[in-house]
Amino acid sequence: MNNFKKTNTFFLISNYNTDPSYLLKYCEDYIIYDQSDKSLFDISKTNLNYIRTKHTGHNISDYFQFFIDNYDDLPEFICLLKGNIVGRHLSLKHFEKVYKNKFFTYLFNDEQLPPISKSHFLLSESKFVELNNSWYARYHPTKYFNNYNVLLNFIYNNPIVSKYLLFSPGACYIISKNHVLNNSREFYINLLKIINYTLVPKFPSEAHQIERMLPIIFNSSYEKKNYMNSVKEFQTELSKISTPKIKFSIMEFIKKIIK
């Protein structure tokens, strides 16, 4: 018997090689953007409501595509989820505490993280803080930007460049439609261009930068560069960006992720 009250918050689930159906007992409505390899998880053999998407740009590319396609008819509240969020980014116990929230919520917790560290720590039970040094750019392919601060200044006029970043690892949040509407549809179309390209190991450095920038994207009042609201002008500005000179090593990446 289901002892959990279903929330009317819409579940937007980005899935990869996982059966995400366990999340559905918590919501009244949902959509799954499925990036899975069919040999590992064939969603077509289920009766789930899904859209097949490319395995690139992290789950953020699925979020942005949903915003673009539904910009004029967004749900009042949206839970941005990964199919493997429970056990990967938070505990089931923590998820069951917060999934009904009707305010901006960081969907993350890790009781094993140190309370004090120079590189990363928890500010509260779910707010993760990381040193802003773009360390991940060494292990992921880059097409346009290999530095968080450069991308931030490309998007906004005179943003605060902080020594530390507050975000939810895994890019899972509860947001309202007003958080999405903080930006134009064109804004999301343009950001999608810089994270939705396919390179081994599939996750561009820019996707990791945007992952860390999402709280700013949803909540900040920074003035955006004019071209961020124009697909044509954005493409012109993007074409001026030279490919960053960064050495990417598959072996170095593999050594990093198996540690």
Alpha helices per DSSP H over 161-230: 177-180, 185-195, 205-219
Cα four-point dihedral sign 222, 172, 18, 40: positive
All structural domains of the chain with their residue ranges:
10-257
Contact 175, 78 (CB under 8 A): yes
Cα four-point dihedral sign 231, 211, 91, 115: negative
Strand partners, 120: 130
pLDDT at position 142, please?
87
Cα separation, 171 vs 132, whole angstroms: 16
Q: What is the pLDDT of residues 116-152, one digit of tens each?
A: 677 888 888 899 999 999 998 888 888 899 999 999 9
pLDDT at position 45, please?
95
Return the half-sphere exposure (C-beta side, CA atoms, 13 A cut-off) of residue 164.
12
Cα separation, 5 vs 189, whole angstroms: 35
Cα separation, 74 vs 69, whole angstroms: 9
pLDDT more than 70, % of the chain: 89
Instruction: Give pLDDT < 70 ranges for the chain.
Output: 1-3, 114-116, 198-202, 243-259
Neighbours of 120 (CB within 10 A): 14
Kind and range of the H or E element at 232? helix 231-238
Amino acid at position 227, single letter: Y
- Give the closest residue to 230 by CA, choosing from 220, 238, 240: 238
Please state the pTM of the whole predicted model.
0.90
Amino acid at position 19, single letter: D
Among left, alpha and beta (phi > 0; psi -120 to 50; other), residue 95 is: alpha
Cβ-based neighbours of 81, under 8 Å, separated by 6 or more:
11, 12, 13, 14, 20, 23, 107, 172
pLDDT at position 253, please?
44
